[in-house]
């Protein structure tokens, strides 16, 4: 067994690998860029080596520097994690030639299967059912349009070295194919250093289901059941679960055996994933093989009770697989939500900056630990007060639950999301909560078009369902009364002018149209002054009990005898007098006033927000990589104005209305802040 390994990665996956290595008694070496000098993976490792500047092409994609770090520290093996160099056969080969063990498949397996074009050809030769398309690299956008027409729209334009949704576009017409080809090449070049692109038929209403395989150097290959990964946005997975609620035992077995046959054909020796697109009749087609550990591997670990990172390390050290196919378990139901630094209410724009507060829900399962299952697990590479840099992908954490069955796992995940406190940046937690509550998701009736179908016009606050919205109003009133009770006990108050607690209040909330809604409430103690309040809202009464300290963002308690977890904060948002209440993805900002205060508020004049329609402002922090127009140019609604690169993705800004470009105040190559003016319209 190795004495020391280097992790050629960052973020949560580097932390994940370090935990298993520590469990196995193996010393670890982290590598880091300028942006990551204070990162969590650097702190967790036994040693750390600086490998370059913040952009990944100047650090984490520098193979020679990583190999030099191995030699400098005496690391005998390299674990590449996912992304970066994990599927780069040149890197794997170089590592092997330097006498260092690559904790992953052999370079020839990566060459055969990691390359999307080569893997498709090999699958055809092995008589694996594949999707029609053009499997050779395409040189020009014009040729891409010709091929797309031959294959028949819709088509999928994919980077050969792609992964994680990078370098992938769906085209429904010639314009989509032309523009998509150019964007794919640029993203692929920036993310993977390989700009080859190919085209295949896009199967409509598909499911994305993948099989986890594991092979050793002794010819043994097994499959560890499947993962359902159909809930995707812009081809990036949002929620993954194991097993799939869709496929039958017969389909599971057929897919598993086909995945094993494919792995054996390339002498596969490590953990890998064979991805399939599955039709509604359970017909399935080989899509691609990921020759690395997947982001969503924890759901497989939960239902099988196996540590996949440990098995990868043991196989790389030459050990035989410790189990045969008949020994693979499938116990319970696991779901993973990817918690991303993005604002779902602003079209999922990247959100970077400092994590002012980061409090994950209480963990009862842990990465690298298969003894404690059936609970909650958080895999993350960040910490309270840390920075989310703009140079890497947007994932903050992975939230994993393992329940008895699917309904139990969904309920556990909704509660865990309620208790996940993230402040300082925006996160997609409200969107995750809405997905988990959607009737079609709960029924298991979805495909890869689910998010586009239900949230095609974006995601808005009113899209978040809540089975009892009056509870949020009641909780605001209850917490406000507790603040009043504390204030009433402060000593030294002027006699006759002390704070009175009161029982009659009005909760004022903004509706979807920005109008104030005034809701009278009554709040009384029902078990003495112990933090227990009976709140009447209209015809409903809520008996709320909570011992949560005032000022804590996460409030746990009981309402009408049932447990709840919610988030409550005072003095945030647009109104410093308001309480922000969040529960099951729904959020309100509520001012709790006296009846007289409510009457006076109704008399206040309305202040309209300023008109910003004549400005194009940056919706996110990022790098301005292109300005597509000139001063004085006439533009039409929908025309491309600029391109901003953030978190490894290109974000195109379009004109929202016809107009004439006036002054351009930002230059190509400039780093932009949120709401920085890029150009003005005349």
**pLDDT > 90 in the chain, percent:** 70
More confident residue, 629 or 682: 629
389-423: pLDDT as tens digits = 888 888 999 999 999 999 999 999 999 999 999 99
Q: Which pTM does this prediction carry?
A: 0.84
288 catalytically annotated:
yes
**Angle, helix 429-437 to helix 406-418, in steps of 10 degrees:** 150
Residues 440 and 511 in one domain: no
The answer as to whether 423 is a domain residue is yes
Residues in the chain: 682
| Residue 203 scores a pLDDT above 80 | no
Pairing of strands 586-593, 579-583: antiparallel
Of 201, 220, 251, the residue that ends a domain is 201
Record the tokens describing residue 561, joined without a space: 């005898």
Residues 308 and 413 in one domain: yes
The answer as to whether 567 is a domain residue is yes
* DSSP bridge partners of 28: 5
DSSP states of 524-540: EESSSTTTEEEEEETTE
Residues 359 and 294 in one domain: yes
pLDDT tier for residue 200 given thresholds of 50, 70 and 90: confident
From the DSSP assignment, how many helices (H) and strands (E) are in the chain? 17, 39
632-654: pLDDT as tens digits = 999 998 899 999 988 777 889 99
Catalytic-labelled residue, pool 12, 87, 288, 301: 288
pLDDT tier for residue 605 given thresholds of 50, 70 and 90: confident
pLDDT of residue 164: 65
Kindly state the average pLDDT of the residues 547-566: 92
Pairing of strands 504-510, 516-525: antiparallel
Residues 518 and 549 in one domain: yes
* DSSP bridge partners of 163: 166
**pLDDT > 70 in the chain, percent:** 98
The answer as to whether 126 is a domain residue is no
Residues 273 and 400 in one domain: yes
Residues 564 and 415 in one domain: no
Of 149, 174, 201, the residue that ends a domain is 201
- H helix or E strand, kind and range, residue 179: helix 174-192
| Residue 512 scores a pLDDT above 70 | no
Pick from 134-148, 295-309, 343-357 the range whose average pLDDT is largest: 295-309
The answer as to whether 190 is a domain residue is yes
The answer as to whether 480 is a domain residue is yes
114 DSSP 8-state letter: I
In this structure, of 60-64, 376-380, 493-497, the range with the lowest mean pLDDT score is 493-497
| Residue 529 scores a pLDDT above 60 | no
| Residue 127 scores a pLDDT above 80 | no
What rounded mean pLDDT belongs to the chain?
91
Residues 483 and 591 in one domain: yes
pLDDT tier for residue 528 given thresholds of 50, 70 and 90: low
Can you tell me whether residue 287 is helix, strand or coil?
strand
**Contact (Cβ atoms closer than 8 angstroms) between residue 274 and residue 210:** yes
The residues, ordered by sequence, that sit 6+ positions from 253 with a Cβ below 8 Å of its Cβ are none
Residues 95 and 144 in one domain: no
Kindly state the average pLDDT of the residues 71-85: 96
Please identify which residue in the block is written with the tokens 């190509």: 668
**CA gap 323, 339 in Å, rounded:** 33
Considering its fold, how many domains does the chain have in total?
A: 5
Kindly state the average pLDDT of the residues 228-244: 95
Phi-psi region of 337 (alpha: psi -120 to 50; beta: other; left: phi over 0): beta
Kindly state the average pLDDT of the residues 112-139: 80
**Contact (Cβ atoms closer than 8 angstroms) between residue 356 and residue 344:** no
pLDDT of residue 607: 76
Residues 650 and 672 in one domain: yes
CATH (domain of 647): 2.40.50.100
**Contact (Cβ atoms closer than 8 angstroms) between residue 199 and residue 144:** yes
Kindly state the average pLDDT of the residues 143-149: 93
CATH (domain of 58): 3.40.50.20
**CA gap 427, 439 in Å, rounded:** 23
Kindly state the average pLDDT of the residues 599-627: 88
Question: Which range marks the domain in which residue 334 is found?
Answer: 207-456
Pick from 214-228, 562-576, 609-623 the range whose average pLDDT is largest: 214-228
The answer as to whether 122 is a domain residue is no
194 DSSP 8-state letter: -
Pick from 255-269, 510-524, 561-575 the range whose average pLDDT is largest: 255-269
pLDDT of residue 571: 78
Residues 215 and 68 in one domain: no
Of 201, 224, 243, the residue that ends a domain is 201
Residues 582 and 639 in one domain: no
112 DSSP 8-state letter: I
Other Cβ atoms less than 10 A from the Cβ of 58: the count is 15
Residues 503 and 540 in one domain: yes
pLDDT of residue 369: 93
pLDDT of residue 407: 97
Kindly state the average pLDDT of the residues 525-541: 81
Record the tokens describing residue 659, joined without a space: 């107009």
Kindly state the average pLDDT of the residues 46-67: 96
The answer as to whether 313 is a domain residue is yes
Q: Where are the beta strands (DSSP E) in 363-404?
A: 376-380, 387-388, 395-403
pLDDT tier for residue 487 given thresholds of 50, 70 and 90: confident
The answer as to whether 125 is a domain residue is no
pLDDT of residue 573: 66
In this structure, of 267-276, 345-354, 395-404, 511-520, the range with the lowest mean pLDDT score is 511-520
CATH (domain of 547): 3.30.700.30
- How many angstroms from the chain centroid is the CA of residue 646? 15
Phi then psi dihedrals of residue 446, to 5 deg? -155, 165
């Amino acid at each position: 067994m190795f004495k020391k390994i280097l992790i050629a990665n960052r973020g949560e996956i580097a932390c994940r690998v370090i935990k298993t290595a520590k469990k196995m008694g193996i010393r670890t070496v982290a590598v880091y860029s300028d942006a990551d000098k204070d990162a969590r993976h650097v702190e967790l490792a036994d040693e750390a080596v600086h490998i370059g500047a913040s952009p990944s092409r100047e650090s984490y994609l520098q193979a020679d520097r990583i190999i030099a770090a191995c030699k400098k520290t005496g690391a005998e093996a390299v674990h590449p994690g996912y992304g970066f160099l994990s599927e780069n056969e040149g890197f794997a080969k170089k590592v092997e030639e330097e006498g260092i063990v690559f904790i992953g498949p052999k370079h020839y397996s990566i060459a055969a299967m990691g390359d999307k074009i080569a893997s498709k050809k090999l699958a055809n030769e092995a008589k694996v059912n594949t999707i029609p398309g053009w499997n050779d690299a395409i040189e020009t956008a014009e040729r891409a349009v010709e091929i797309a027409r031959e294959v028949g729209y819709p088509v999928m334009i994919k980077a050969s070295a792609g992964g994680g949704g990078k370098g992938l576009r769906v085209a429904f017409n010639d314009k989509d194919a032309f523009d998509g080809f150019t964007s794919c090449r640029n993203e692929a070049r920036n993310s993977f250093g390989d700009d080859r692109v190919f085209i295949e038929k896009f199967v409509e209403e598909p499911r994305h289901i993948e099989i986890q395989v594991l092979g050793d150097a002794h010819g043994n290959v097994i499959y560890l059941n499947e993962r359902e990964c159909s809930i995707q946005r812009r081809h990036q997975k949002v929620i993954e679960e194991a097993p799939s609620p869709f496929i039958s035992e017969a389909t599971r077995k057929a897919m598993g055996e086909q995945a094993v046959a494919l792995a054996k054909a390339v002498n596969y020796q490590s953990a890998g994933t064979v991805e399939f697109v599955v039709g509604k009749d359970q017909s399935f087609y080989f899509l691609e093989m990921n020759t690395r550990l997947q982001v969503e591997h924890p759901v497989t670990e939960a239902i099988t009770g196996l540590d996949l990172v440990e098995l990868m390390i043991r196989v790389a050290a030459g050990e035989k697989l410790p189990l045969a196919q008949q020994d693979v378990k499938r116990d319970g139901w696991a779901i993973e939500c990817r918690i991303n630094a993005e604002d779902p209410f602003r079209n999922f724009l990247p959100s970077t900056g400092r994590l002012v507060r980061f409090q994950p829900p209480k963990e009862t399962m842990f990465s690298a630990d298969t003894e404690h299952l059936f609970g909650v697990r958080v895999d993350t590479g960040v910490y309270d007060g840390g920075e989310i840099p703009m140079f890497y992908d947007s994932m903050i954490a992975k939230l994993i639950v393992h329940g008895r069955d699917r309904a139990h796992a969904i309920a556990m995940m909704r509660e865990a999301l309620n208790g996940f406190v993230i402040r300082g940046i925006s996160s997609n937690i409200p969107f995750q909560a809405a997905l988990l509550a959607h009737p079609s998701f709960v029924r298991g009736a979805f495909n890869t078009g689910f998010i586009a179908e239900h949230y095609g016009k974006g995601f808005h606050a009113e899209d978040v369902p809540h089975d009892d919205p009056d509870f949020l109003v009641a909780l605001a009133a209850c917490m406000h009364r507790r603040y009043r009770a504390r204030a009433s006990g402060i000593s030294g108050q002027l006699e006759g002018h002390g704070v009175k607690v009161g029982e009659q209040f009005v909760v004022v909330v903004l509706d979807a149209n920005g109008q104030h809604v005034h809701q009278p409430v009554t709040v009384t103690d029902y078990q003495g002054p112990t933090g227990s309040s009976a709140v009447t809202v209209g015809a409903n009464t809520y008996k709320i009990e909570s011992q949560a300290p005032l000022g804590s963002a996460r409030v746990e308690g009981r309402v009408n005898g049932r447990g709840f977890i919610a988030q409550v904060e005072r003095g945030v948002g647009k109104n410093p007098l308001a309480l922000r209440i969040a529960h099951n993805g729904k959020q309100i900002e509520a001012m709790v006033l006296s009846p007289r205060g409510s009457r006076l508020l109704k008399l206040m004049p309305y202040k309209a927000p300023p008109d910003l329609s004549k400005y194009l402002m940056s919706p996110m922090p990022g790098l301005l990589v292109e300005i597509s127009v000139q001063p004085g140019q006439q533009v039409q609604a929908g025309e491309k104005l600029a391109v901003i690169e953030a978190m490894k993705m290109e974000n195109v800004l379009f004109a929202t209305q016809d107009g004439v470009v006036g002054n351009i105040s930002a230059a190509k190559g400039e780093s932009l802040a949120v709401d920085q003016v890029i150009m003005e319209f005349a």
